[in-house]
Each structure stands twice: as structure tokens, then as C-alpha cells.
Amino acid sequence: MMKSVLLAAALLGVFSTAALGDDRYATRPPVVLSPDLAAPWIMQLGGGKVRPVVYQRPVQQRGLFAPRAVRRFPPALTQRVSAINPGVPVIRQRLEPQFLPQIVGYETRERPGTIVIDTNNRFLYLVMDGGKARRYGVGVGKPGFEWAGAHKITRKTEWPDWTPPSEMVSREAAKGHYLPARMDGGPENPLGARAMYLGSTLYRIHGTNAPWTIGSAVSSGCIRLRNEDVVDLYERVKVGTRVIVM
């Protein structure tokens, strides 16, 4: 009788240990914050109407050493500034080769040092001597926000802050997009790493937190470059530089 009791107790201990072991190594679905929380202005909205969403990420149960399902976030959430912002991880977005900086032949009557922006073809030219120019790919004004004219650079700023115009705030609010009253400069700021202000207008040549938009008509009239390209241009021009937009 005693042997039977001891055997039953031993078996119970073995099964309990196995159950605890299984529980210890069981894979539980982790909680993942919604990508919406990455919006840089989400914490500035206030009030009780904006509630971040929390999603459960599905994980397939395939045993202890089976690979887990991984959720892929949109590219917009993984873009970061490279060497101009040390310490921030970078995942580069492929850009069409023609929009990468390069020296090209460029015949013009404009003096060397002048900036010429071809909005139709999405190029910015920095005129050089000898019938050449340094060419950069740009993003330009979307339909309804195109413009042309000649101005001078009146101010240059590194890592500019951003105060959306009231017209933009109202326009985006009508679409359900709520912009901040102001945003400090930084990698998530839409103006990017550098800004060059044109005349007394609200238009700027600036960087971007969305480098995959270069080559597209997406802005409210400003000219945007990749951050590494706007830094390069910023160092080559000075206040007073003539800028022609056509």
C-alpha cells in the first residue's frame, strides 16, 4: 500500500513539473502599441476624444523553437536620420537613381551659385561654372499648391521647429488629421534637418521625415529634399542666394 502511495505521489510530481515547464515556456501573445502612437503630435492633442489603440499581435504556437510570426510596421515608422543624427538607427528607403545627387550638364544664363528648381521634373539645380550643375531630387507642391517665381534665401535654420499655418491646420482637421500647434525640431519633424526660407513667403527649401516622397508632388508648396541632401545644399549656399522656381 505504501509503495502505491509513493508511486502515485512521484507520478503527480512528474506531471506537475512538466505542466509548470510547459507553462514556463509557453508563448503568449505580446501586447503591441498601435503605429498611430508614433505620430509625433499624439501627446499634444489632449482631451478625452483621442484614445490610442492597443492591438494584440497574433503569434502562431508551433513549439518551443518554432519561429514566431512578426508584424511588419509601415516604412514610415522605421525611417530615421543617418549620420547627421548620430545614435538613431537608420533603414534606408530605395530612391529612384535619377533623384540621387549628381553633377550634370546644365546650360543656363543664371550665375553660378543660383538655385533653379524644375518642379515639373522634380529637380533642384545648384548652378556651377562650366555649364554644369549639382542636381538633387525634390518633392514639390501637390496639385493646387504649385507656384513659380524668384526669391532669395532670407534665413537658414538647422533642425527647424514647425508651426503649421492656420489654413493648413483647418484643412487637415477637415480630413480628420489633427496637427500640433507647434513641433520642436528633430528627426520626426516634417521640416527635417535644415530649412532655407524664401523671401517673405511661407515657402521653404527643407528636409523631410518622409524621404520616400522625393520625386512626388506632395507638399503644400515647399520644396523638400532628403535630409542628407538638404544638409549638403545648406552648406553650399548662403543667405542672399537667388532661387528660381519654375
Calpha distance 104→137 (Å, rounded): 13
Torsion of CA 48, 45, 209, 71, to 10 degrees: -10
Contact 119, 148 (CB under 8 A): yes
Residues classed as catalytic: 206, 222
Following DSSP, what letter does each residue of 108-143 receive, concatenated?
-SSPTT-EEEETTTTEEEEE-SSSEEEEEE-BEEPT
State residue 9's pLDDT score: 55
Q: Which three cell numbers stand for residue 103?
A: 553633377
Q: Measured between alpha carbons, how far is 228 from 102 in angstroms, rounded to an integer?
A: 13
Going 137 to 142 to 147 to 151, the CA torsion angle's sign is negative
pLDDT of residue 89: 41
pLDDT recorded at residue 242: 98
State residue 8's pLDDT score. 55
Three-state SS at 17: helix
Which pLDDT belongs to residue 93?
A: 56
pLDDT in tens, the chain (246 residues): 555 555 555 555 545 554 444 444 445 444 443 333 334 433 343 343 433 333 333 333 333 333 333 333 344 434 434 444 444 444 445 789 999 999 999 999 999 999 999 999 999 999 999 999 999 999 999 999 999 999 999 999 999 998 877 788 788 888 888 788 788 899 999 999 999 999 999 999 999 999 999 999 999 999 999 999 999 999 999 999 999 999
Q: Let me know: does 207 contact 189? Beta carbons within 8 Å.
A: no
Pairing mode, if any, of strands 223-224 and 194-198?
unpaired
